[in-house]
Structure 1
Amino acid sequence: MCDIERFDDSLFAILKECRTLPNFFDAVFGFLNRRTDFYVISTNSNSHVGLPEGFAERFVRNTFYKWKPKDLNKNEVPEAVIETEIETEVEIDDETDNNKGIAMKSDDIEGDLRKLNVENDKNVSDSYNGGVFDNYSWSQTISDVDVLIKTPFGVTSKDLIVAIHPNKISIKTKKSSLVLIEDELCNCVKNSEAIWSLDVSQRKLTVHLEKRSEIWWDCLLKSEPKLDLSKMDCSRPFEELPDEAQAKIEELQWNQERKRLGLPTSDEIKMRETLKKAWNAEGSPFVGDFDPSSVNFN
């Protein structure tokens, strides 16, 4: 994880140039469009280009709530996303703090668990590197987990009891004590950074969890069948790769573009520079003006 505060001065300079937040965001997302594969939809789990459908929106949403202040005044938040704390239990240990999970209040939702058809609601991003079950689905990246849970008729955010511990998750309704999901997690999470929200139109509860360690999970709950990690897309987003790996990928992309334009690659440029230095050196078989076209590079 990079130290993002080191970009503050550069970002502030861009913001001053843009003058307004809409222009700033337009510049950011325009850059993602022009210079990255952020908007490319990947249809093949083995592809290293693009993201699965819905992942780009999810990254933006999760990052928004990650940095959202927890003490915002009620009047400062749009009605559709009013923040409220609702008996969210958090078990504190040596690696957590007193911050509770964030809950988004929404209007009453309609429908019934028995009437919800899992097959009709399937989305590739909802179970990417994860699984789909009768009442919930989950997906993961190397650093976080997203859980999508079906909710019963008439349930609002005030009707839920959400308890997220480092190694366990429990979500129930208050009145009927209906268990929506409850079990030990496959691995530990940073429970103090958990985010959950109730969607009005989709009748779904979304839970975002940050992994304690950057490892791939073979299940969400210990009671689930194990996934085959060898068949999982274990690629990582470009920005999460080490600096050396990013530099190598950028060099490969640059060389591919040079080849497409019929221009020398980085290796060919280095070879020509070396040849130029040795052209008239003592013992060199070449004499006269430097002429790389007379040399056959293998």
Structure 2
Amino acid sequence: MATEPERFDSMLLAMAQQHEGGVKDLLKTIVGFLARKTDFFTGGREGDWEKVVKETFYEHAKKAKEEADRIKREKEEADKRLKDIQQRKEQERLQQDFEAASVTELTDQEAVKLQEDIDKDQKKKAEIGDGDTNPEVVDPPEDDDDDPKEKNKLKPNSGNGCDLEHYRWTQTLEEVELRVPLRQVLRPRDLTVIINKKHLKVGIKGQPLIIDGELDSDVKVEESTWVLQDGRNLLVNLEKVNKMNWWSRLVTTDPEISTKKINPEPSKLSDLDGETRGLVEKMMYDQRQKEMGLPTSDEQKKQDVLKKFMEQHPEMDFSKCKFN
């Protein structure tokens, strides 16, 4: 059952839909009714109706602002919790990935074998340097083309989404933005836009739907919106439920994009604090290095320290040490 302030909502919404000029025209209708059918403007002392209007509007404006502030505050708190969780996960992951190197004592037999391997490598490098042989170069896999799971998947557009025949969608970790060019001037009431938790319908009334399918993942219906821009372009914003996941398609009938090729908005790094930004940049650099079979930043640092130490102490024999 509707509460007292809400019991006329359905009636007022039905009225609002009949006013093409929006709230301004709706207010004119209500005020016109008061002028024609009641003594609102003439029944009291001079200035009474102005006082009632002012008090009523200011009262509800205050409530509306308090509610908007509450929603904004809750969203900021949720974003902060999400950022804290992401930062903690990255820190834990980095700690696991970059454990200190350990030194293990080798047996005489293992030391001989290690020295033989080193000699072979040095000989091979010398031969390559002289140009006598061609090195066997193994290129890193490019764009996961050899991965059967990635076969036939599309490369994401500049917004980490996909450009399709009738619409274009982009995404961040928080939301999906859909743009539909309508190729004709329309009014909001000419459109069909139905956003459900797992389903989306978009189209022009009287014509086949442009989109009618199950979404790639759940959305928050109450936080999702749509607007008609210049009468020609429909913009739909879908708020993701899972903010740790990239979508591979808008609806399940669309072709998939490769989420491995997504570029997570480098411009957003400027919004992070110095420590978090450093961790994220380090993680992205190390991920690229791993994909190319190259040492990560910490592994390279360890190698540099070891190389410098060995150069400073040529009298020491490292042939019986193995570095993991």
Report the TM-score range of the alignment, normalised by the length of the smaller protein. 0.3 to 0.5
* TM norm structure 1: 0.38
Larger radius of gyration: 2
Whose helix proportion is higher, 1 or 2? 2
TM-score, normalization: structure 2? 0.35
